Amino acid sequence: MSVIATIEAGSLLRPSFTALPPLALYVHVPWCLRKCPYCDFNSHELRAAGSVQDALPEDAYVDALIADLERALPSIWGRIVGSVFIGGGTPSLLSAAAIDRFLGAVRARVSVRPDAEITLEANPGTFERARFAGYFAAGVNRLSLGVQSFDDRFLKVLGRVHGADEARRAAESALMIFGNVNLDLMYALPGQMPDDAARDVSSALSFAPPHLSFYQLTLEPNTLFHRHPPSLPDDETAADIEDEVQAMLGRAGYGHYETSAHAKPGWQCRHNVNYWRFGDYLGIGAGAHSKLSFPDRVMREIRWKQPKRYLEAVTQGTPVQESVEVSRGDLPFEFMLNALRLTAGVPASLFVERTGLPLSVIAQPIAEATRKGLLDPDPALLAPTLLGRRFLNDLQELFLPEKAASQKVGSDSTFVARDSALSPARMQVGSDPTFPR
Ligand code: SF4
């Protein structure tokens, strides 16, 4: 894939792509049985007077997703979808028949690679074996199970709707039906000690899933835990837990390929790797984000977040709430924010391919990061060192537009403040579970 970055009048660089990045499809399902106290995702509690089936507008939502996709087709004409990720929220609230209808509609409208990875996120609290088998029959070939812990004490603290037994039964069935399964677990939980985390890792390893994700519990704004903070392990204990988790997974043969993701060789999540390599994605559904490249620009879109508002907007043909072009000043940071999450980093040439800008625009932050020991000195690579992985935020911050502006382009007004609603810090980047989970 070759890219030419042209220099226009007034030294204004504009990205110029001769080939576009790989494309993925993200689908958001915005409901959950209950809102977890730490959750800042676009998930809305189903307030059912009766059953879940009564409260969930399943048919209307699938119709809306199909209409949303149809409206977006001109922006992805001729492109092939390499992976589909149905995330949430709790997509496993949808019936297998609904998933089957939706995936059939996708295939009828979009070229999907025959070997596309098609992931669905499931909550053990909605587990039914027949339902899992139905998803598989519908074409879902990867299941991401939000276990969080195999210990009832911590599941209770986290406000999860499932218990440890349900988590075990769901994991067992998922492995049997799909084979390609991710288990999500969290660590640094209130009251958790390294031994507790080690027991969770052992429980997870007993199922031998090909992929495991471990996320540190953080207190995000606009969550119950932020308003009423629980007592979390101190930094030293959290670091001990993290070291213990990573050592156990390494000994068990899992490669630590991304900040929170571990996989057996050949089982990395292709959908999420596409995000981290700054690939394109069309996001449909309430609150979904898109990043789409065109020959001369990169666009970000966000759809209406509230499910009711989204459903109304789709019927009016306006599911997109906001659409902005990513400025050339923001592109380098957005690329590095993603790529540096990959443990092995990326080839330096990928920066040029995916941003349409020359590597020289980040020459100074690269030099500073290398001097500080945060970035691998190999000029052919953009990869964090062990120290860089430990201090990932500090490393990423070196590539902030403001930093680059002061180092590289002085008062160039195209380097804008990063306060957009489409800031990458708020974008969904798929989801084992949806970044930045
Ligand atoms: S953490 Fe997952 S299950 Fe809990 S409210 Fe958020 S999206 Fe729903």
Residue 183 and residue 175 in contact, taking contact as beta carbons nearer than 8 Å:
no
Summarize pLDDT for 188-229 with one digit per residue, the tens.
Answer: 999 999 999 999 999 999 999 999 999 999 999 999 999 999
Q: Is the pLDDT of residue 371 over 80?
A: yes
Instruction: Tell me where in the chain the CATH 3.20.20.70 domain(s) lie.
Output: 23-274
Calculate the average pLDDT of the chain: 89
**Architecture of the CATH domain 329-420:** Orthogonal Bundle (1.10)
- Cis peptide bond prior to 104, omega within 30° of 0: no
Strand pairing class (13-14; 181-187) = unpaired
- Ligand 1, pocket residues at CB < 6 Å: 32, 35-36, 39, 41, 43, 88-90, 123, 146
Ligand 1 centroid to Cα of residue 217, in Å, is 13
Better-predicted residue by pLDDT, 426 or 322: 322
Cα–Cα dist 212/381, whole Å: 26
State both tokens at 375: 């970035």
The ligand 1 atom nearest the CA atom of 32: 8
Q: How confident is the model at residue 437 (pLDDT cuts 50, 70, 90)?
A: very low
Q: What does the block give as tokens for 129? A: 């074996």
Ligand 1 atom nearest residue 148's Cα:
1
Query: Residue 352: enclosing H or E segment and its boundaries?
Result: helix 348-355
| pLDDT value of residue 18 | 78
Enter the pTM of the model: 0.90
Task: Show the tokens assigned to 90.
Answer: 């709790």
CA distances from 227 to 37, 145, 222, 224, 417 (A): 10, 28, 8, 5, 28
- Sequence ranges of the chain with CATH classification 1.10.10: 329-420
User: Residue 64 is encoded by which pair of tokens?
Assistant: 């809306």
What residues does 301 pair with on adjacent strands?
290, 323
How sure is the predictor about 427, in pLDDT bands with cuts at 50, 70 and 90? Answer: very low
Q: Which of 41, 224, 435 to mutate to test the pocket of ligand 1 (most atoms within 8 A of CB)?
A: 41
Cα–Cα distance, 338 to 355 (Å, whole number)? 12
| Tokens 């382009």 sit on residue | 409
- H/E element, 382: strand 381-382
Length of the chain (residues): 437
**Whole-angstrom distance, CA of residue 78 vs CA of residue 81:** 10
First to last CA, the chain: 31
Predicted confidence (pLDDT) at residue 126 exceeds the cutoff of 70: yes
> Which residue, judged by its Cα, is nearest atom 2 of ligand 1?
89
Q: Which ligand 1 atom minimizes the distance to the CA of 39?
A: 6
In 3D space, the residue among 365, 334, 357, 359 whose CA is nearest the CA of residue 429 turns out to be: 334
Share of the chain above pLDDT 90, in %: 84
Q: What is the assigned CATH class of domain 23-274?
A: alpha beta
pLDDT band, residue 55 (cuts 50/70/90): confident
Confidence of residue 414 (pLDDT cuts 50, 70, 90): very low
Distance, CA of 173 to CA of 134 (rounded, Å): 12
